[in-house]
Amino acid sequence: MRQEIEEKGRGLQKKMDESFRTGQTLEKQANEKIKDLEKQITLSAAGPLIEKLVEKYSIFPAIVSYLKDCLKDISKNSDAYRGQTAEQASPVMPIPPQFQQDEADFFTRYKVNLFVSNKQNGGAPVILEPSTNYYNLFGKIEYRSQVFSMRTDFTMVKAGAIHRANGGYLILQAKDVLSDPLVWDTLKKAIKYRQAGVENIGEQYRLVPTVTLRPEPVPFNAKVILIGSPQLYQILYSFDEDFRKLFKVKVDFDTEMPRSLDNMCKYTSLVSAVCREHHLKHFDWTGVAKLTEYGSYLAGSQNKLTARFNEIIEILYEAAALAQTDDTELVQAKHVDKAIKERRYRSNRIEEKIQEFIINGKIMIDTGGSVIGQVNGLAINELGGFAFGRPVRITARTYMGRGGIINIEREAQMSGSIHSKGVLILAGYLGGKFAQKKPLGLTAQITFEQLYDGIEGDSASSAELYAILSSLSGLPLTQSIAVTGSVNQFGDIQPIGGATEKIEGFFDICQARGLTGEQGVIIPIQNIDDLMLKEEVLEAVHSGKFHVYAVKNIEEGIEILSGNIAGTTGADGTYPEGSVMSLVDKKLNEYSKDLNAGITNTGEEKKPDLSDS
């Protein structure tokens, strides 16, 4: 009986197992059919939409392939579209909320990360990147903090300027790029290999490699334009081999342009555009004319206009503010003039101190009377973009000897190479003019009195020569006239820089002491077109209280300073009696005879010094 029951039980168990397996098989088949049905429903819903996109972008194989992959993934994950909760998906052991996958996270896979949009561009993109740090330039992969980890996905890959400029132009400031070596190296690699990838800083230098996104580099085809100074270009060209190969086109822009009618009209357009953009009061014709004059002043020429527009715009802002204070409808010339003066006033503390010392006699400058071997030269001081002219006393002492022209500044190591060259040129002039038939038995010492910060440039070489000629001839030079100008070995006066500032600097001293009608400045004739003098100087010149003399050669200048004719050689090779050159020649003849006789200026016997003067 028991055995029979056990056999029936085993038979029943077998039938139950078969029924269970059959049930599982049927359930599996049912689930598969349900899934197939869901896939069909999903495909019937998504398929036509995808097909429209495939048809629209059929000329882009990569997009077509992506859309087909999306459709396959949609059909494969049709369960996700039923909106199952985490509890329904795992009823036995619910997942804590902080570890649950957000439904939106699943559908993120179907999003499109619009990496770069050129919708607003009418043509090729032109990107001017003001902040050239690594991430702004090359993009980045962002991360989101989640529980105890950091998560990222393809939607968090952000483009940089190099990607936005692809197919167009990328404009960068060279000094900003070079300030970060990693930026410079990465930029060169992008240009060299024509690829623009996205990789966070330090990914290549991790001690332990981590799994993260590795976006595929995009083909890079853009013109990269670096803006920088000529000095920076020369440094890169000389020391960076890649720079020569990658940046083959150099464009050297001028900081000034011709003062033509067309360019003056462009100045007017610039003023109008800035006022309109920044909601400033507009300028009347006098205000625009004054700004144009200031542009010529900055360019240092009557025939040029500065292309440093930022300096023009700064004055424009200040003039507009002054007009606002005056409650006038338009900005006028007086507002521009006041803005220029106030801008100068904010920067001229050193200039005022020097002028104060000169007027008080602590810096010794004469603006009247006559002195032998002494002349007022003119120098330029430049401090932080502000330049001003000032007079300097130049003195010369001459005596018998073979020392030649001794530059005291050079001996004291206060002279620049250009200034030293200018002094050596003086020896060439004197030797060529007065030592054709006799040795130049001359020692002359020249110096800039009360100048302790060194000197550079040759713009005072003519003044130095005037002082030497005065010392040799014994003729006093007027101290009411200052001198600027370079000289060559033939006595021709050569143009210099800063003529306007130098004239105004000497004028300010003369005006403070009182204009006498005898004061003025000698300049090279080539610098006439460079003068952009302020109103006070022009009024003084027009009224005869101040003078500006333009000379071609040393002879013209010495006549103005000494009041004597310079003199030229006649048929017999001599100079007119009483002329400056005859007196100089006479003195040099005396020195030569005494030296040939072996007598020094102290009356002691001495072996002649045969060193080259």
Ranges of each domain in the chain: 2-110, 126-246, 256-345, 354-596
With beta carbons less than 8 A apart as the criterion, state whether 541 and 547 touch. Answer: yes
Residues 275 and 316: their CA atoms lie apart, in Å, by 9
* Cα 397 from Cα 40, distance rounded (Å): 111
In 244-343, DSSP assigns E strands to 256-258, 304-306
Measured CA distances, 298 to 311, 386, 392 (Å): 9, 11, 24
Question: Running along the chain, 613 residues long, what does each successive block of 10 average in pLDDT?
Answer: 75 78 81 76 79 88 87 78 53 52 68 81 85 89 75 82 91 92 91 89 66 82 92 92 91 91 94 94 94 93 93 94 92 94 92 94 94 95 88 94 85 85 91 87 90 86 95 95 96 94 96 94 96 94 96 96 91 88 92 74 46 41
For 403, residues 6+ apart whose C-beta sits below 8 A from its C-beta are: 442, 443, 444, 609, 611, 613
Task: Please give the pLDDT value at position 180.
Answer: 87
pLDDT digits (tens, 9 = 90+) for 334-364: 999 999 999 999 999 999 999 999 999 999 9
Phi, psi dihedrals of residue 16, rounded to the nearest 5°: -65, -40
Separation between Cα atoms, residue 581 and residue 593, nearest integer Å: 18
The owner of tokens 């030079």 is 477
From the list 73, 84, 75, the residue with the least C-alpha distance to 43 is: 75
Q: What secondary structure does DSSP assign to 185-234, as a single string?
A: HHHHHHHHHTEE----TTGGG-SS------PPPEE---EEEEE--HHHHH
Strands 223-227 and 169-173: parallel
What is d(CA 540, CA 83) in angstroms, rounded to the nearest whole number? 92
CA 432 vs CA 107, 334, 378, 577, 581: distances in Å:
94, 54, 27, 20, 13
- Residue range 538-595, pLDDT digits in tens: 999 999 999 999 999 999 999 999 999 999 888 888 889 999 999 999 999 988 888 8
Tokens of 283: 């300028």
Q: What pLDDT does 475 receive?
A: 96
At residue 162, the 3 state secondary structure works out as: helix
3-state secondary structure of 442: strand
CATH topology of domain 354-596: Ribosomal Protein S5; domain 2 (3.30.230)
CB of 305 closer than 8 Å to CB of 264: yes
CATH superfamily of 126-246: P-loop containing nucleotide triphosphate hydrolases (3.40.50.300)
- DSSP assignment of 240-263 equals -HHHHHH--------SEEE--HHH
Whole-model pTM: value is 0.76
Give residue 4's pLDDT: 76
Structure confidence at residue 191 (pLDDT): 93
User: What is the CATH code of the structural domain delimited by 256-345?
Assistant: 1.10.8.60
